[in-house]
Amino acid sequence: MALGDKAVNAGAAPHLLRQGLDKGTFVVAGDGIDIPAGEPSITVRTQFIDTNAAKEIADRARQLRDGIATVHQLEAVPDVDYLLDLAAVVGNDKRVRTTEVLHRLKTRNHAVYEHWTGARLKALLAEYGEEPGVLDGYPVVRQKSVQRALERRAGGMGCSAPVRLGPVRPCAVSRR
């Protein structure tokens, strides 16, 4: 095993291991293993398993695990309606900076919105023909854009009436 010049110069001798006879024997130095004080390295003996034996062990392990579930209990994933969540965090504000909208979404449901970015928010609005606006050089989400997106979705999903901001009722649930 190659240890580097420092260990070899200090007396480690991995080159003295005999090929074929010392299978499973390693000369080790460095972090992660306790080496006696004053020693440049330590020789460690392990069990050598050749390719055929490794395949046999793996096959036995697969047979023992066959039919056994590795998850004891599946966690229920709640339905998330991104557009309704967006409507809720924009609320009655005429416009909200995109960074604030993202912060509100993460506060609302951190697990779902943790990795959302302005680009993801823009893509959500674009699905319904809308896009964020700009105010004083900052990207914003306009309440009217969210309202129109909800109305477009409601019209395309067969809801009986347009969805309004405030008390909203879902038409369809988006999974992304």
Is 168 a residue whose pLDDT tops 50?
Answer: no
**Confidence grade of residue 36 (pLDDT, cut at 50, 70, 90):** confident
pLDDT of residue 27: 79
Look-up of token digits 């039919």: 67
Under 8 Å CB-to-CB from 132, ≥6 apart: which residues?
98, 118, 121, 122, 125, 139, 140, 141, 142, 145
Q: Which helix (H) or strand (E) is 96 found in, with range?
A: strand 95-97
Task: Report pLDDT digits (tens) over 104-162.
Answer: 999 999 989 999 999 999 999 999 999 889 999 999 999 999 999 999 998 874 333 33
Distance (Å, whole) CA 105 – CA 113: 6
Task: Pick left, alpha or beta for residue 129 (phi over 0 → left; psi -120 to 50 → alpha; otherwise beta).
Answer: left
What is the arithmetic mean of pLDDT over 4-31? Answer: 74
Shortest CA distance to 95 belongs to which of 123, 125, 68? 125
pLDDT of residue 118: 92
pLDDT of residue 24: 75
Sign of the C-alpha dihedral computed for residues 91, 93, 94 and 98 taken in this order: negative
Task: Report pLDDT digits (tens) over 61-80.
Answer: 989 888 777 776 777 767 89
Is 22 a residue whose pLDDT tops 90?
Answer: no
pLDDT of residue 75: 73
pLDDT of residue 58: 94
Beta strand spans in the chain (E):
25-28, 42-45, 95-97, 133-135, 138-142
CB of 113 within 8 A of CB of 102? yes
For residue 119, give the amino acid letter: A
